[in-house]
Amino acid sequence: MILLSGADVVLPDKILSPGTIALEDDRIAEIVSGSHRGDSAVRVDLTGRVVVPGFIDVHVHGLEGSDTLDGPEAIGVIAERMPRFGVTSFCPTSIACSPSALRMMLTAVRMARASPVPGCARVLPAHLESNFINPEFRGAQPLDCLRLPRGASPGGEFAGDEILQEIARARGDVGIVTVAPELEGALDLIGSLAAAGHRVSLGHSGATYEQGIAGIAAGARHATHLFNRMTPIGQRAPGLAAAVLEHDDVAAEIICDGVHVHPAMVRIALAAKRSSRLMAITDGTAGAGLPEGARAMIGGRRITVGDAARLDDGTLAGSVLTMDRVFARLAGTMGIPLVEAAQMCATTPARSLNLEGLGAITRGARADLTVLDRQFSVVQTYVSGGQVWPGKGKKDKE
């Protein structure tokens, strides 16, 4: 047994200050108040630290030079690097790509999930920021890869059906699929994807409020980076953003880097959705963790690191953010209570994806934990009760 003792422990409804978490094998065996010293246990003194459930990022394309679409090794490389940023689970996220590129990525996801590597973050089913999005709201996604769910799509070397076949081949490894509900045939597609067990997400969309509601009625339960690349809120045209904010059936992602979404809009979203239906994401790219001015790729397109990741023409192409900084921004700069910040970074994504035993510090849950200092920098990360960061022999790199 391992005792993590003396830290402020962020529980689903309160903070134990101080508290002690007993880990047995891969589970949380007990949570008690106070600093404890077990007789036959290994005690880790975490006085002055904060323990939160390990961060779960459901929308991340890459990290430190690696993009999910780079090749078969990329997912493993990203999974290995995630714990340093407090991330214990993540959804590898693709942008619109060819069927062969998608197959390559989904094969890598399957292998990573089938044989988890010790010391790495958990690889969750993928998030496809898919081919079925509105070209006008594509952002950094490649126009020549976009398809209509039904009817003729302009040009291109492959049909939309081929993408759907790849999704069908990899069912259990495809979690979230982003779809623009206003496209021809999209409502049928949303219904069939939802029926097949995928979590359909509204996004990269020019949907009106009404079209957004129709998407929710068809089975969409998620929204891709709320406010970014979707119709904004107007007093007479509430847009997709308002449909998402208004409907409790839908949980929304929000990018918290201070660049993609103004902090006031994050607070408005939090007031409308509460932390139980709002999840912080990074939308991080391979530029995350690299110095300013560095070059990296997203789906084979070049990006440059600045306040965010941008294509050569200046188009915003995701963030250079990591989850530790997201949490620090929420709980620090924005002053959101620790319990709510932990919900946004772990509990709500876990519940949204039905990840049993993950996302909250409760008795019997998997021991996926992140230990922070008072500035919310990551001190230690645990996956399945084992310390994965800093790893053995890696301490010198701190």
> Closest distance between Zn ion and the C-beta of residue 130, in Å?
11
**Residue closer to Zn ion, measured from CB, 90 or 382:** 90
> Closest distance between Zn ion and the C-beta of residue 393, in Å?
34
- 80 belongs to the binding site for Zn ion (CB under 5 A): no
Q: By Cβ distance, which residue is nearest to Zn ion? A: 283
> Closest distance between Zn ion and the C-beta of residue 25, in Å?
35
Closest listed residue to residue 376, CA positions, set 284, 307, 296, 280: 280
Q: Which region among 197-205, 276-284, 345-353, 381-389 touches Zn ion (by CB under 5 A)?
A: 276-284
**Residue closer to Zn ion, measured from CB, 201 or 381:** 201
Q: Which region among 6-14, 104-112, 215-223, 277-285 touches Zn ion (by CB under 5 A)?
A: 277-285
**Residue closer to Zn ion, measured from CB, 283 or 324:** 283
**Residue closer to Zn ion, measured from CB, 70 or 283:** 283
**Residue closer to Zn ion, measured from CB, 80 or 129:** 129
> Closest distance between Zn ion and the C-beta of residue 298, in Å?
8
- Report how far residue 127's alpha carbon sits from residue 344's, in angstroms, rounded to the nearest whole number: 18
**Residue closer to Zn ion, measured from CB, 141 or 387:** 141
Name residues whose C-beta falls within 8 Å of residue 210's C-beta, 6 or more positions apart in sequence: none
The answer to whether 133 and 140 are in contact (CB under 8 A) is: no
Query: If DSSP states are collapsed to H, E and C, what string results for 191-248?
Result: HHHHHCCCEEEECCECCCHHHHHHHHHHCCCEECCCCCCECCCCCCCCHHHHHHHHCC
- For Zn ion, the binding residues in 114-173 under the rule CB under 5 A are 129
Where do we find the tokens 């076949």?
165
Structure tokens at 319: 């963030």
DSSP secondary structure string for all residues of 328-380:
HIIIIIT---HHHHHIIIIIHHHHHTT-TT-SS--TTSB--EEEE-TT--EEE
- Report how far residue 157's alpha carbon sits from residue 101's, in angstroms, rounded to the nearest whole number: 13
Q: Residue 43 carries which side chain, given as an amino acid letter?
A: R
Structure tokens at 363: 């008795």
Q: Which region among 74-82, 179-187, 283-291, 350-358 touches Zn ion (by CB under 5 A)?
A: 283-291
> Closest distance between Zn ion and the C-beta of residue 93, in Å?
6
Q: Which region among 145-153, 212-220, 282-290, 360-368 touches Zn ion (by CB under 5 A)?
A: 282-290
In DSSP terms, which residues pair with 301 in a beta bridge? 298
**Residue closer to Zn ion, measured from CB, 282 or 381:** 282
**Residue closer to Zn ion, measured from CB, 61 or 147:** 61
> Closest distance between Zn ion and the C-beta of residue 39, in Å?
49
The answer to whether 160 and 148 are in contact (CB under 8 A) is: yes
Q: Residue 27 carries which side chain, given as an amino acid letter?
A: R
> Closest distance between Zn ion and the C-beta of residue 345, in Å?
17
CA angle 178/302/312 to nearest 5° reads 100
Q: Total number of residues binding Zn ion (CB under 5 A)?
A: 2
**Residue closer to Zn ion, measured from CB, 252 or 372:** 252
Of these, 8, 283, 324, 368, which contacts Zn ion (CB under 5 A)?
Answer: 283
Q: Which residues bind Zn ion (CB under 5 A)?
A: 129, 283
